[in-house]
Amino acid sequence: MGISVGDKLPDARMTRMGAEGPENVQLHDVLSGRKVVVFALPGAFTGPCSTIHLPSFMKTADQYRAKGVDEIICIAVNDPFAMTAWAKSTGADEAGISMLADAEGQLTNALEMAFTAPHLGLIGRSNRYAALVDNGEVVAVSVDDPGVCDISTGEKFLETL
């Protein structure tokens, strides 16, 4: 399928931490009636994900909100425990970045965005991309080449809006 402007994001079961622990949510419900920036990356606590990609959206969060974005969501093929710990350790939670775990890779696989780099210990992870999604429809998207962290960063993606 890939991800392109005009596409509706496929519905997928995602997981996030709630007040009572992990809770499943349907991506469709999270996106419905809202303007959301969704960005995906290979994994919590990994190199460029922690030093470049996530921080870039933390730095630009207010600029996205000024453009009418209701929520900024980080997605990775991780469990919700790792995503929550990562958000706390980086300050992403304080910056208002929401974390959704694509624990089963449902969204990643439906979008054909799976990224595998066995030499790094990354199997079945997500390639990097950023998308502006309005009521579930992709209105802007940037997809990095596998293993690259460039056009899907917060700063670069903001330039496309």
What is the b/e burial string over 45-57, where b = at least 16 CB atoms within 10 angstroms of the residue's CB? ebebbbeebbbbb
Residue 120, token pair as written in the block: 């790094």
| Residue 157, helix vs strand vs coil | helix
Tell me whether residue 114 is exposed, middle or buried, using C-beta atoms within 10 angstroms of its C-beta: 0 to 12, 13 to 18, 19 or more.
middle
Whether 49 is catalytic? yes
Residue indicated by tokens 């300050």? 91
What is the C-alpha separation between 142 and 51, in angstroms, rounded? 19
Q: Of 37, 61, 39, 35, which Cα lies nearest the Cα of 48?
A: 39
- Active-site annotation holder among 14, 38, 49, 131: 49
Active site residues: 49
